[in-house]
Amino acid sequence: MKTISVSIIGFGAVGQGVAKVLVDKKEYLENLGLDFKVVAVADSRTAAIDENGVDLNAVLSRKQDEGVVGSEKLTGLEIIETIDHDVVVETTPTNIVTGGVGLQNMLAAFKHGRDVVTSNKGPLAMKYGELMEAASEGGSNFKYEATVGGAMPVLNLAKDVLAGNSITNVEGIFNGTCNYILTRMMEEHASYEQMLAEAQELGYAETDPTYDVEGIDTACKLVILANCVFGMNATHEDVTVSGITRITPEALLLAQNEGYVIKLIGEVNDSRINVAPKLVPIDHPLAVGGSLNVASVQTDLSGPITVTGRGAGSVETASAILSDMISIYRD
Ligand SMILES: NC(=O)c1ccc[n+]([C@@H]2O[C@H](COP(=O)([O-])OP(=O)(O)OC[C@H]3O[C@@H](n4cnc5c(N)ncnc54)[C@H](OP(=O)(O)O)[C@@H]3O)[C@@H](O)[C@H]2O)c1
């Protein structure tokens, strides 16, 4: 059995999802010869630390009941810098202006030779080159499937599963909030404002939905795809972006009468990175409804390979993190 010591930095929806799947999949992981021992958990104010393994069920209950993970005052960054462990699961909030605390955490992890698995797209969309260089200098593994499409496997699909193929284009729906709003506008012949309000009520949209509906969140994911799959050194300034705020129910109805739906499509290839609402034939694989994500990877040997799945959710996103953790240590 290989024991891998882990910190979980950020204990919101995704961090808690990771804790839950590590508890639920303990036996499954042991059958793979892997024992992930969480030695530290941090939220924004507190930490729980135990070099023999933190009791994850107790930490989950405490977070639920008291809003904190523990009573220690160490910050996530201090944990990364001072506690000896193998892998940092970085699940703090996304900041696409500076890269935020996530960027500092990842750079510190690499400086100390730790591996990093993350769902936090901010640092990758802002400082991809710097992070790759730091990971390489630290001799660290760096995996980030969860940053693009949550549970939907697209980065590892394009990089690993389809190895041997040249990828010529990736296009898809990478924002569940926009997909939900457009789907419901079409179903109800309702306005953008009405369906945004519904999405907010149901928790599919943030109180400030700007990043989602203006296409900025999709643009960040395309930047990660461009850099990871196409070997570019792109930033969000290289993406042409338009969002969904000006789409009307009348436009959706016209499209529907001609056999189309309107979707916010992100597309990346060697020559362009683009986010825009597009007409998609109603029976096309990209025409998925509700809050689903979808990605179609165009390859030279296999033609198009399309995957669809949940782009968000606590355990769903944790599944991508767990899969990255397994892929680092299984061999
Ligand atoms: N939710 C999803 O479905 C999803 C899907 C894909 C990717 N992501 C990305 O995954 C990341 C986590 O998302 P989430 O939904 O779990 O966010 P969240 O619910 O807002 O949780 C963020 C967590 O980070 C903690 N935190 C904030 N500042 C910190 C600091 N300086 N040090 C340590 N912890 C800190 C927060 O502490 P408190 O609890 O004390 O506030 C909270 O526990 C984000 O980058 C998000 O964009 C999320």
- How many whole angstroms from 240 Cα to the centroid of ligand 1? 28
**What does the pLDDT look like over 61-113, one tens digit per residue?**
999 999 999 999 999 999 999 999 999 999 999 999 999 999 999 999 999 99
Q: Is 143 a catalytic residue?
A: no
Q: Of 223, 191, 195, 188, nearest to 209 (Cα)?
A: 195
Q: How many CB atoms lie within 10 A of CB 210?
A: 11
Arithmetic mean of pLDDT over the chain? 97
pLDDT at residue 331 is higher than 80: no
- How many whole angstroms from 15 Cα to the centroid of ligand 1? 7
Question: Would residue 72 be called left, alpha or beta, if left means φ above 0 and alpha means ψ between -120 and 50 degrees?
Answer: beta
Contact status, residue 266 vs residue 219, Cβ threshold 8 Å: yes
User: How big, in percent rounded to 5, are the helix, strand and coil portions of the chain?
Assistant: 45, 25, 35
- How many whole angstroms from 82 Cα to the centroid of ligand 1? 22
The pLDDT assigned to 236 comes to 86
Q: Domains in the chain and their CATH numbers?
A: 2-151+314-329 (3.40.50.720), 156-310 (3.30.360.10)
**What does the pLDDT look like over 290-330, one tens digit per residue?**
999 999 999 999 999 999 999 999 999 999 999 999 999 99
Q: Residues lining ligand 1, judged by CB closer than 6 Å? A: 9-15, 42-45, 75-76, 91-94, 101, 119-121, 146, 150, 312-313, 317
The pLDDT assigned to 189 comes to 95
**What does the pLDDT look like over 180-222, one tens digit per residue?**
999 999 999 999 999 999 999 999 998 999 999 999 999 999 9
Question: What's the predicted TM-score (pTM) here?
Answer: 0.97
- Which residue of the set 25, 143, 221, 263 is catalytic? 221
Ligand 1 mutation target, pool 7, 8, 16, 44, most atoms within 8 A of CB: 44
Q: How large is the average pLDDT for residues 116-136?
A: 97
